[in-house]
């Protein structure tokens, strides 16, 4: 079995954990490949790869070591290649990275026994002036427009060419169900189960307090035109940010590209909610 490892730092996959992982590889006959930047940090003789095209076709999956930020980097790295991703959490909250790093052996055994569950997650496809040489991108969590300075921005919003509203706010988030437990949740957005096919349009600190999150079907196309008193504002796709000019227009739709997320067979979305958000925990005890 061949498994690719993706991590950004020895802070996430420590040398001690690496030696344990290599021991498990020998025990279970697993060949590991590591991203080149990590190999350079370890200064060890490990099999390295720089591009997703260098991964053998028989690669079973990609293990992302870190938090949800590392997971998003991994998804961006593999691009359109249909390679399942399993997140090993050595960060903080970790909705995407669902396996604790102390349970790596259990996760590997589940991969060997084919007892992992594969979840297909939708992505946002965005078209717009991200940069001079980049006009379209995909995101697993969210697309945002945010102010670049002190002044709020105005975002004219259309759904299927029908005018919805002009949001005067610090910004706006268009989130997938996967991203509903990320930035959108932190500003009061609803939690959506990953299997739903929808987008959440959520203003960031709106000037009109009656403007609330709006859930629309993922078959809809969204058009956003941003106006700012400054010369520019910030557009983001997951953990990538771009400075865009006044009057920039973006079109959002569901991406034909999907992400295959691996989960341990006995772990559900509701288990994650109870554990990560401590639902039902009585702190008085």
Measured CA to CA, the distance from residue 218 to residue 42 in angstroms comes to: 43
Q: Which among 151, 143, 130 has a CA at the least distance from the CA of 174?
A: 143
Candidates 11, 68, 113, 247; catalytic one: 68
Burial class of 198 by CB neighbour count within 10 A (0 to 12, 13 to 18, 19+): middle
Cα separations in angstroms, 268 against 131, 271, 275, 281: 39, 5, 11, 18
As a dihedral over the C-alpha atoms of residue 127, residue 75, residue 92, residue 143, rounded to 10 degrees, the angle is 10
Active site residue 68: yes
Please report, for the chain, how many H helices and E strands are present, in that order. Answer: 6, 20
Catalytic residues: 68
């Amino acid at each position: 079995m061949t498994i690719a490892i993706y991590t950004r730092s020895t802070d996430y996959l420590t040398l001690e954990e690496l030696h344990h992982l290599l021991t498990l590889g020998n025990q279970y006959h697993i060949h590991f490949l590591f991203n080149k930047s990590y190999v350079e940090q370890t200064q060890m003789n490990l099999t390295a790869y720089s591009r997703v095209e260098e991964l053998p076709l028989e690669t079973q999956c990609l293990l992302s070591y870190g938090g949800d930020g590392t997971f998003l980097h991994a998804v961006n790295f593999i691009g359109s290649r249909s390679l399942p991703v399993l997140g090993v959490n050595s960060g903080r909250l970790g909705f995407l990275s669902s396996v604790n790093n102390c349970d790596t052996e259990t996760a590997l055994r589940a991969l060997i026994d084919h007892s992992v569950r594969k979840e297909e997650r939708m992505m946002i496809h965005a078209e717009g002036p991200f940069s001079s040489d980049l006009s379209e991108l995909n995101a697993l969590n969210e697309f945002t427009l945010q102010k670049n300075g002190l002044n709020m921005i105005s975002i004219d919003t259309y759904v299927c060419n029908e005018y919805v509203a002009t949001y005067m706010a610090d910004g706006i988030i268009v989130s997938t169900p996967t991203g509903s437990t990320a930035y959108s949740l932190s500003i009061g957005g609803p939690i959506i189960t990953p299997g739903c096919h929808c987008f959440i349009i959520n203003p960031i600190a709106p000037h009109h307090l009656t403007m609330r999150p709006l859930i629309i079907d993922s078959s809809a196309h969204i058009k956003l035109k941003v106006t700012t008193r400054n010369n520019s504002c910030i557009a983001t796709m997951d953990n990538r940010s771009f400075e865009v000019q006044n009057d920039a227009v973006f079109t959002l739709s569901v991406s034909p590209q999907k992400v295959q997320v691996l989960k341990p067979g006995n772990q559900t979305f509701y288990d994650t909610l109870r554990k990560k958000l401590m639902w039902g925990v009585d702190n008085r005890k």
